[in-house]
Structure 1
Amino acid sequence: MSESDKHDGTDKLVDAYEQMLKRTHERIEQAQQESAPRFRDLLGKVRDHMVELGELSREEANKVSDYIERDIKDAAQYIAETGDDLRDWWRFDLELMEQRMLDMFARVADQTSLNLAQWAESARLMSLYQAGEITGPGTLVCDRCGAETHLVKTGRIPACADCGGTLFRRRAPEKGGAG
């Protein structure tokens, strides 16, 4: 990552992921008072607004919104298939992650549950995570060697520490608890 990709010592796109998720949540709350929210449309509006404000380039905004949509779809698919709690999808105890991020993500996931069911099928096509992309907290499994990478907060996905692989899947929790 070049110095131009950093902002005050932090990754610009990681900050943008959290900001876009937060702003999407704020827009969903506003939209609920008027009509049933549509997550994809709202995310697109937030993305476009961040571009208009010059906070992100069009390419950066598209990447970040794709990352958020992928994570929401992945969470929706997990919840639809297992009926388990969103905390199980995260695969971390609440103490290990930033409470505000879990709260924000959970609110967006809860508020968009109708749309999430429709996205479950398309989530299968977008289930691979790639090194360099940004994702929220969780455990990713290397598609090449099966090694686990644990992310305790939003950040860029590193290459596999064991084999250098660059493709991952989010680890499904074992039945019976959130390990």
Structure 2
Amino acid sequence: MNTQDKEDKLTRAYHKMISRVRSILGEEESKTKPEVPKGIEAAKQKAVELGELSQEEADQLGDYLRRDLEDAAKYLSDTGKALGDWLMLDLELIEEQLLDTFSQVADKTQLELALWAEQARHAQDYYTGEIVGIGTFACLSCGERLHFHKPSRLPSCPKCHHTLFKRLKRNQQSESM
């Protein structure tokens, strides 16, 4: 499998994984308080069982999804602002189904935020090669911004070729790096 095919496979799998987490949380909601980590774990195992991903790929995507949800939930909880501010993107440009799915899971994640507080502090770093969800990312070396309207692999900085990024929120738009 060439690099582009693998990247396409992983970005489709990220999208599918968040949809599965949403479905799992919807089923769980009637029984008990939703537990996002258990939903992510179940979605990872389903992808492996169906042969969509290797265990290593599923673990990696699960980590990426957990990081995105933790960061979104922390932002929503801390600021009371809308998800669009966290994404720092025009919501009309984002696939409606993906935005709806991510929004619902992020809202449920807020319920568990207290349990994730310490982990969320470490969920700020994004590295080249990781699959990221929708949003805007800034190179920590030169400040170059990369905008993603769908799950994608994070490339090296096109300006300085560094590999470490942070997710920008709307209130960080004017901050210097």
Which TM-score applies when normalising by structure 1?
Answer: 0.89
1:84 to 2:81 alignment: yes
Match of 1:130 in 2: 127
- Supply the AA of the counterpart residue of 1:63: Q
Q: Distance in 2 between matches of 1:93 and 1:117?
A: 29
Q: What is the match of residue 25 of structure 2?
A: 28
Distance 1:151 1:4, change over 3 A: closer
Structure 1 runs not aligned, ≥5 long: none
Q: In 2, distance between residues paired with 1:170 and 1:23?
A: 24
**2:164 counterpart of 1:167:** yes
Contact kept in structure 2, 1:80 and 1:117, CA below 8 Å:
no
Aligned counterparts of 2:159 and 2:32: Cα–Cα separation in 1: 49
**Where does structure 2 lack aligned partners over 5 or more consecutive residues?**
173-177
The count of aligned residue pairs is 172
Residue 44 of structure 2 aligns to which amino acid in structure 1? Answer: R
Contact 2:14 2:65 in 1 (8 A): yes
Q: 1:96 Cα shift?
A: 1.5
1:101 and 2:98 correspond: yes
The 2-side partners of 1:4 and 1:172 are apart by 30
* Corresponding residue for residue 5 of structure 2: 6
Paired letter, 1:3: N
How far, CA to CA, are the matches of 2:169 and 2:43 in structure 1? 30
**CA 1:141/1:29 → structure 2, altered by over 3 Å: closer, same or farther?**
same
TM-score (norm 2): 0.90
Deviations, residues 124-176 of structure 1 (Å, cap 9, x unaligned) = 1121011111111111010111111111221111111110011100113228x
**Cα RMSD (Å):** 1.7
CA contact (8 A) 2:129 2:154 kept: yes
Q: Which runs of 4+ in 1 moved over 4 A?
A: none
Q: Distance in 1 between matches of 2:169 and 2:3?
A: 36
Trace 1:135-146 onto structure 2 (pairs within 5 A): 135-146=132-143
Match of 2:175 in 1: none
- Report if aligned partners of 1:76, 1:120 keep a CA contact under 8 Å in 2: no
* Matches for 1:59-74 after TM superposition, within 5 Å: 59-74=56-71
Whether 1:117 aligns to 2:114 is yes
